[in-house]
Structure 1
Amino acid sequence: MYEVTTPSRRPFPPVNYLFAARALRDFGDSFVAILLPAYLLALGFTPLAVGVLATTSLLGSACLTMTAGLLSARYGYRRLLLGAAWLMIATGIAFASSRHYAVLLVIAFAGTINPSAGNVSVFVPLEHTALAREAGDTDRTRLFARYSLTGALAAALGSLASATPGILAPLGFDRLTAMQAMFVIYGLLGVVGRNLYARIPQRPPALQARKTVALGPSRKIVFKLAALFSLDAFAGGFVVQSLLALWLFQRFHLSLAEAGAFFFGAGLLAALSYPVAARLSRRFGLVNTMVFTHMPSSIALILAAIAPTLALALILLLVRAALSQMDVPTRSSYVMAVVTEAERPAAASFTSVPRSLASAVSPSLAGALFAASAFAWPLLICGTLKIVYDLLLLAQFRHLRPPEENRSTRKGGMQ
């Protein structure tokens, strides 16, 4: 009995609640990101309108994330996660209840609808702070990889779920009504997520009293990282999942079911890449892993933009999916590693908010480009800018190593 309750196992219950909540949220975000353009097109709106709504949603996420960062020291991440879950519930119900574009814009801004399928969200920096508290330096990246893996597997299943309206249509169900029902399900997932967050223990009062919102000695590092991450996010905003689905609908006339199957495969490949990223980072370092997996994925995206056939385009996009997300757990771990523990909530928010703001600009531009031409200009722009980001990140941070890599160097494990 005593062997079962060893000290090494005590932190895992709250981590498991976070993993489960992340899985539910990414499942919902994934099918919503694919349904969103199809739903808006079914309501009679244009590709430009899809891009504008995606931009509005990402701007709202940036504001929510910034607010969470400012309030995290006073209220703690647990209470803010509970509040965000209530907002997810309201978002799903409200989005299913309206067909007016102006109202949908307001809901997109104030709610949690996510066109990027989980990568930009008010939940993310709060969960990162909680995870970092549960992990030591040596297993922090592994924990973040498991966290990302859990979300990616759930997102892959969510991609399959997006095909539900198309499957039900031949059975006599109204396609538009089925889409609205999916948004209700999204809200119900928020109910379950809220119950999981409620199981996370309260932070001790002594920790809550610390002034963690202000950045101190790591301010310069955080600002430089935030600027670089913003460039990456601005590039990624040209190809958020909703807009990539829109391009596949327009360019190759994919059905909703076919798109769901493709994004399931892409999500599965992304999920499998996370534990690989953790292993690579132990051998080559966090920054090297981020850069040298990210650049080939950007090249694959550029080639997909000019692919002459659907089969070749999908193959290249799957190659991109297998590589492009390896920087997600490594990036999150790196930010938590190069700042002090007291600065972690602020660092998580200050690196997330500029990303959200930057990623909010490009979907409208991408929507306008797709409305003007069927050619994949957004994919070309995204891939090129991401390569520039990778080169700048390598130049600026390859010598700033996290504690575990410095210890490995002292032991002779890294050169």
Structure 2
Amino acid sequence: MERRFNFLLISRAARSIGIVYVTLSLPLYLLYLGIPVSIIGTLLLLMVLFSVAISLLSGMLGDRIGYRYSLLIGEVPMLIATFILFHYNTIIPIEIATVIGGIGGTPGGLRGVFAPGLNALIARNWPESGERVKKMGRVMAVGAFSAFGGAVLLYSHGYLVSIMGAAEAFRMLYLSSFLLGLLSFASLVFIKERKAAKKKHGIIDRKSGKYTLKVILSNIVNGSGVGFSIALLPAWIELRFGVPPSTVGLMFTFSYVATAVSSLMATRRIDILRSPVWTASLSRIMQGVVMMAVAFSPSLLIVASLYIARSAAAGFGAPIRTAINVKGVSDSNFGIASSAQGMAVRSSTGTSAISGYLMEYSLPIPMEIGGVLQLLGGLVYYRLMRRDNR
């Protein structure tokens, strides 16, 4: 099992590089093609709805046929979308790729890590909570360090422009994302999954459903804030400061390193934390406070410094929160529970559509709203989860 775990790390590394480049570049590419930021936000909303459907279906199938297969199914939309982005240069296919790929959304350091079935697979293979956090922390650290590669791809766009033009540079780098997606898919084939009784009927038992609902409620609040402030952040930076894509890529490069380092720290500190729930909640509260400060920051350097700090907080809290989120879920319901929790996050980030329209009116407003909601998300998480995790 341990040896095959390395294939999961390879998959998350390749996926992170490819999907992070697409997530960072797609709003900028759409802006370059002349699509208004309000329409970009709407496209991301449609992407969220499609992604939610795929996530829920994969989770339900995973409980019945195995979570490894959920991960494999989850790779297919990205492969289709990146191929379309490379092969076509007209608006309609690109908009279709944005929707079906599930590759827009939040450009965080852990963007390429999570996929339907991942949390459930780790929970099944490593039932003990401390070991689960360590494994998840390693996966997140590898994913976040690899996200550095996605940001470097975007940074390299600035050099390719002089050779082949802006549009062709975007497309050639989308080909790189497609090839990385193939590597991720191939690596997942070699993953092993601990045998357990497969679910034969029903969706989720009452106890697991009640626990999952608490996670979902907090995720909706926090995800709404992320949709307002993070989903269109690359476009926000370009509109606010007028910088090229390569500069945006450089900023996110440092943020991904911060995420990776803090994820590793979480795996080493989990055994001495008095209150993992409070730590996980505090990380969300800190992220909200930082984004509220970003809204009125006068320079890109200050914005970059604040966002790097936010990324460190996110990286530390994520593996701890992931272990907590399935602690009260029975073994046969890991798939549907983790998919429903992820679905809540993804669907609530559909507020990016509202954010796009608000950005045409006032750039600071969506950052402020997003920051407040993320702060509230941390408080709600602590209020709902502390009693079950004393």
TM-score calculated relative to the size of structure 2 = 0.92
1:272 equivalent to 2:261? Answer yes
- Tell me the matched-pair count: 387
Match of 1:173 among 154, 164, 175: 164
Instruction: Give the residue type in structure 2 aligned to 1:143.
Output: K
- Pair 1:199–1:212, CA change in 2 (3 A): farther
- Pair 1:266–1:310, CA change in 2 (3 A): same
1:217 equivalent to 2:207? Answer yes
Q: How far apart are residue 279 of structure 1 and its match? A: 4.0
Match of 2:357 among 368, 376, 379: 368
1:70 equivalent to 2:60? Answer yes
1:191 equivalent to 2:179? Answer no
Q: How far apart are residue 146 of structure 1 and its match? A: 0.9
1:338 equivalent to 2:328? Answer yes
Measured on the aligned residues, the alpha-carbon RMSD in Å equals 2.1
1:294 equivalent to 2:275? Answer no
Q: How far apart are residue 197 of structure 1 and its match? A: 0.9
Asked if the contact 2:258–2:311 (Cα under 8 Å) also holds between the matched residues in 1, the reply is yes
Q: How far apart are residue 214 of structure 1 and its match? A: 2.4
Residue 115 of structure 1 is matched in structure 2 by 105
Structure 2 SS opposite 1:114: coil
Residue 355 of structure 1 is matched in structure 2 by 345
Asked if the contact 1:18–1:127 (Cα under 8 Å) also holds between the matched residues in 2, the reply is no
Once the two structures are superposed, the pairs formed by residues 130-209 of structure 1 within 5 Å of their partners are 130-135=121-126, 136-170=128-162, 172-201=163-192, 204=195, 207-208=197-198
- Pair 1:117–1:245, CA change in 2 (3 A): closer
- Measured against aligned partners, the alpha-carbon deviations of 1:212-260 in whole angstroms (never above 9, x if no partner) come to 842342211111211111111111111235x111111111112211111
Gaps of 5+ in 2: none
Q: How far apart are residue 211 of structure 1 and its match? A: 5.0
CA distance in structure 1 between the aligned counterparts of 2:72 and 2:184, rounded to whole angstroms: 8
CA distance in structure 1 between the aligned counterparts of 2:112 and 2:62, rounded to whole angstroms: 15
1:81 equivalent to 2:71? Answer yes
TM-score calculated relative to the size of structure 1 = 0.87
CA distance in structure 2 between the aligned counterparts of 1:75 and 1:342, rounded to whole angstroms: 11
CA distance in structure 2 between the aligned counterparts of 1:226 and 1:60, rounded to whole angstroms: 18
- Measured against aligned partners, the alpha-carbon deviations of 1:174-207 in whole angstroms (never above 9, x if no partner) come to 2201101111221111211111011123664x63
Q: Which moved more, 1:215-224 or 1:151-160?
A: 215-224
Residue 115 of structure 2 is matched in structure 1 by 124
Instruction: Give the residue type in structure 1 aligned to 2:131.
Output: D
1:255 equivalent to 2:244? Answer yes
Q: How far apart are residue 138 of structure 1 and its match? A: 2.7
1:383 equivalent to 2:371? Answer yes
- Pair 1:109–1:38, CA change in 2 (3 A): closer
Max radius of gyration: which structure? 1
Q: How far apart are residue 356 of structure 1 and its match? A: 1.4
Instruction: Give the residue type in structure 1 aligned to 2:117.
Output: L
Gaps of 5+ in 1: 1-10, 407-415
- Pair 1:289–1:385, CA change in 2 (3 A): same
1:48 equivalent to 2:38? Answer yes
Match of 1:397 among 381, 385, 388: 385
Instruction: Give the residue type in structure 1 aligned to 2:354.
Output: L
Q: Which moved more, 1:349-358 or 1:102-111?
A: 102-111
Instruction: Give the residue type in structure 1 aligned to 2:381.
Output: L
Instruction: Give the residue type in structure 2 aligned to 1:201.
Output: K
Asked if the contact 1:59–1:357 (Cα under 8 Å) also holds between the matched residues in 2, the reply is yes
User: Percentage identity across aligned positions?
Assistant: 23
CA distance in structure 2 between the aligned counterparts of 1:346 and 1:244, rounded to whole angstroms: 30
Q: How far apart are residue 123 of structure 1 and its match? A: 5.5
CA distance in structure 1 between the aligned counterparts of 2:286 and 2:204, rounded to whole angstroms: 37
Asked if the contact 1:43–1:99 (Cα under 8 Å) also holds between the matched residues in 2, the reply is no
Q: Which moved more, 1:116-125 or 1:39-48?
A: 116-125
Match of 2:218 among 201, 218, 228: 228
